[in-house]
Structure 1
Amino acid sequence: MFLLAKEKIRPIISISIDCPEEGWQHQLKDYSDPFLFLMKDSQLFSYIRLKDFLLTNQIEKDTTLTDLVENSVPLENVCKLNETISLPLLFQIIGEPIALVKDKQEEIIGYIRREDVLVELFKQENRHSFDLLKIILTSIPMGIFVVDQERKIVNCNDSGIKMMKTIREDVINKSAKTLFNSEHIDTVFSSNETILNELEITDKTSVLVDYSPITNFNQKVEGVLIIVQDLPMVEKMAMEIEHIKNLNKDLNAILSTIYDEILVVNNKGELIRYSDSFISEFWRRDLKDFIGKNLIDLEDKGLFSPSVTRLVIEHKKKVSIVQETDNGKK
C-alpha cells in the first residue's frame, strides 16, 4: 500500500451531453488534456481518449454528441481511488488507462493516469518496488516479454518462459527474433502501431501473440511489449490440420497408383480432385482445367451426355451408365 501523489491528480474536463456549451466542437480541438469526460444528468458516465478520437474523426460543425458517446468508454469498470492504493487496486488500475480519484466525502475530484501511478510506485522504496514488480509479473497469466531497441529481450515473466517452452538463460539479452515474428517486431518499431492476435505455430509451441509499442514522452518507439497467450486448443487444431494433410497425401498417393479414371466431385457437382489416369480423348483438355468447375454444366454445354454426376446427386445412389461425348466418344 502506498500514498497517491496529489500533484499527479489531474482535473476533470467534461462536456454535458444534456446541455453542451455553444461551440463545443471548436473547444474540443483546443483541449490539451489527453482525456475528455462526458456527463449526463450531472453525473460522469464515460470518457474519451482525445488523441484516438481526433485521429479517427475530423472535428467539424456536424460532429454530434452521439459521435462522442459512441467513441467513449464507460466509467463502470474504471477504478476509483482514495489517497492510498492497495495491491488489488493496483492490478485494477493496470487494466484501464486512468483511475478516478475521490475525496473524503467520496466525491470525484480528478483522475490519475496509469503511467503516473506506476512511475510514483517505482519512485518509492526501491526494494518494495522491485518485489511488487515481481508480484505483478508472476501474477499475470499471460506471457510478457520486453524487447529493447536492439530487438533483444531484456525482461520476461515465468508464464512467458513456460509458454514458449524455453529457459530464462536462452531468452534474456537474446534476439527476440529467434522466438517471435521478426517482421511484426520491425513493423511495430517503424509504425508505432499495435499488432494483435497473431497465431504463431512452431514445432514446439502454439501461441497467440500481441505486439505493442513502448513509447517515450515524444511518442518515439523505444521497445516492444510482446504478450503471449497459450491456447491448448490451437495446438490441438494444428495437430488435426497436420493429420488432415497427411490423409490428403495418402489419398493422392492412392489415386496416383490406380489405373482407372477416378473423379472426386462435391455435392454441388464441382470437380475437386482426380486420379493421374484419366481419358484424355474423352475430355480433350487437361483435367486440371476443370478443377472447381461444375461437371453438370458441361452436360448442359453438350460436352457429354448424360452426366453421371447429375444422376448420382439426383437419385442419391450408385449409378452405372455409358457416357457419350459430342464427337461420339463413349
Structure 2
Amino acid sequence: MSVDPHLSLEFAVNSLSSGFIIIDRQGMIQFINQKGATLLKLNADQDVKKSIFKLVPGMDLSLFSHEKQSIREVQIDNRKLIFNYSPLYLDGEIYGISGLFEEEKYYEGLLKELDFHKNMSLDLKAIFDTSYDVIYVSNNQGITLRASTACKELWGKEEKELIGKSVYELEKAGIFKPSVTRMVLEKKETVSIIQTTKTGRRLMVVGTPIKDENGEIIRVVNASRDITEVSRLQSELNDMRKLMEGYKRELYDLRSRTETETSLVYRSIEMNRVISLAQRVASVDSTILILGETGVGKEVIANYIHKASLRSEKPFITINCGAIPENLLESELFGYEKGAFTGAVKQKMGLFELASEGTLFLDEIGEMPLTLQTKLLRVIQEQKLVRVGGTKPIKINIRLIAATYRDLLEEVKNGTFREDLYYRLNVIPIKIPALRNRTDDVLPIVLHFVEFFNQKYMRSKKLSNSALEVLQQYEWPGNVRELQNIIERLVVLTEKEIIDESELESFLFIADRQQSENVIVNNILPLKECVEEAENQLLELAKRKYKSTSEIASVLGVNQSTISRKLRRTKK
C-alpha cells in the first residue's frame, strides 16, 4: 500500500501531545498545532502570521543565532516551557525555525515522542527509497521538498541538489520535461504523462494534488516509473510487427497521399498519372469528362477534384443519369415551377441550382436521353436554365464534371449521343484504368477495405499471404466496387480470424470458373454484339434466380442503378 509522506507527517504532528511551531525569519508564525497554541495561550487559527516576538515574552531574534538544534526555556506565568528547535534552510540560508515544546514536567515524555517521530521519519525514508515507484514531493509553489534516492539515476541529480529547487527551474534546465508538478498546479487535478529526462530516461509519471479542507493545493506528490526498458522492448515489438505486416505498412504510407476527405488508395503508376492530372485541373473551372468502366471509382475522382478546387467549401452534388426515369430526370436536374405538372404543388430547385458556386457531377452521362441532351447543351453554353413549367431564366455558376463507362464517340456515330454536347463535355478527359490493368493497386485497396470493414463491424479479420495472392491475381471484372463487396462479405461472413485461400473459393473463384465453363461461343460475330448477348443472357438468368434488382446487383458486383438501366435496355 502506497503511503503519502505529507499526510502521514502532518497527521503525526497534529497528533502530538506536545506543541509544535514553525516561525519564519521575521518571527512570523507560519504554523502552530493546537497543543502548542494551548501552551502559549494563542489561537491556532487567528495568531498564525502574527509575530511570535510580540505574543510570547522571551522570544526574540536570538532564536536565529544558532545554526544547529538548540534548547531554550521560556517562562509563561508560573509555567516553564522547554523549546527544542532547529533552523530551517533554503538555498543555504536560514529562512526560519521549527520547534517542539512542552512544559518542563512533560519534557521527558516529549523526548520519547521525538524519538518516536524520528523512527517514523526513518520508516518513511525507507519507504521512499525502496519503493518501486520513485516519489517526488513539491509544495504549492513548485518547490521540491523531497525526492527518492533513485533521483540520481533517473534525473542525474542527488536528493540534496533537488530539494529547495523550483520544478520550473528544473524543467527549464531540461532535468525533466515536461514537469508534471507544473501541469498539476495549472490544471488543479491529477495528471498522467510520459516524461523524458536529461539522462535519456522515459518515465511514466502520475502527479497527484494534495488539497486542504478549502480545496487549495498544499502539496503535489509524483509517482514515477522508469519505462525506458519497456519503451525499448515496445519499439522492438513494433519493428517486428512492421516486418510481419508489411502490406499494412504500405497502406499507411499510401494514406499520406490523401489530400482530401475522400480516400484515395493507390500505388500504381497508372493511377498516379490520373491523380496528377486531377490535381492540375482542380484549380481551373474547365469541364471534365471522366471515362472508365463501372466500379473504377469515377465519383471518387470527381469528389477529389472538387475538394482540391477553389469551390471546395461549396456543394458537391451528384446524380446518376441512368438511375432516374426519363420523365423525372429533367425536373431533378433543372427544377420545376408550381403547377408544372400534376403533384407540383410548389416550386422546386433542381440540382443545377443546388450546386450553385460548387460542382455538379453527372454520372453515367451516356444514359441521358437525347431530348435532355439538347437542354443540357443549352444550359452549359448559356450558363442559364429555365425550370420545368417556367419562363424566367435563372443564372447558374457551377463546375461541371461528367462521367461515363460508354465510348461516347461510338455513341455519337450511332446517333445516341449529340456530337456538339460530346465536345462540350470532353474539354479535359480523364481515363481511369480498370483494376485489372493496375494490379499494383489491388493489395493496398484490399487492405484498406479490410481495415475499414473491421472497424465498421467491430471485427479483427486478417488475410493470409495466399489469400492476398489470389485476390491480386483475380481479374476483377467489377473493378473496385466488386472488390469492396467481396471484402465486406469476407469480413462479415467468414468465421476464422485469418481468411485463407480456401475461404475465398466460395466467394470468388467458383463463380469465376462456372462463368468460364458456361460461356460457350459457337460462331464468329462482332465483339460488341457478343458481349451484349452474353450480358443479356446473364441478366435473364439473374432475374429468374433473384427477386430484386438489389440482389442481382450484389451478386454481379455492380450497383443497383446499373442493373436497373441494363434491364430497361433489354426490354426495348
Task: Please confirm whether the aligned pair reaches a TM-score higher than 0.5, indicating the same fold.
Answer: no
Which structure's CA Rg is the greater one?
2
TM-score normalised over the length of structure 2: 0.26
TM-score normalised over the length of structure 1: 0.42
Greater fraction of residues in helix: 2
